Amino acid sequence: MHDSPTEFLHDVASEDGRCVAQSVIPVGDGSYRCACSCGRWDIIAPGRAEGLRLARVHTDTEV
């Protein structure tokens, strides 16, 4: 567990190339830009739920 957002971001930055953190950010037109700290996954999803699902697929954690 991380004590602060800064500590979390420091850990993400130090794990270059690994799937440590994913983001699902609204674009403004209803779609979401999804990316991973590994740098190899960057997509546009049609909705938040789909973006989260695709992040789980990317990290192989889909249930």
CA distances from 46 to 7, 8, 16, 19, 61 (A): 31, 28, 28, 22, 20
Name 44's bridge partners. Answer: 33
What is the per-residue pLDDT for 52?
Answer: 97
Residue extents of the structural domains in the chain? 5-58
Reported as a single tens digit per residue, the pLDDT across 22-48 is 999 999 999 999 999 999 999 999 999
What is the per-residue pLDDT for 1?
Answer: 56
Name 45's bridge partners. Answer: 32
pTM: 0.79
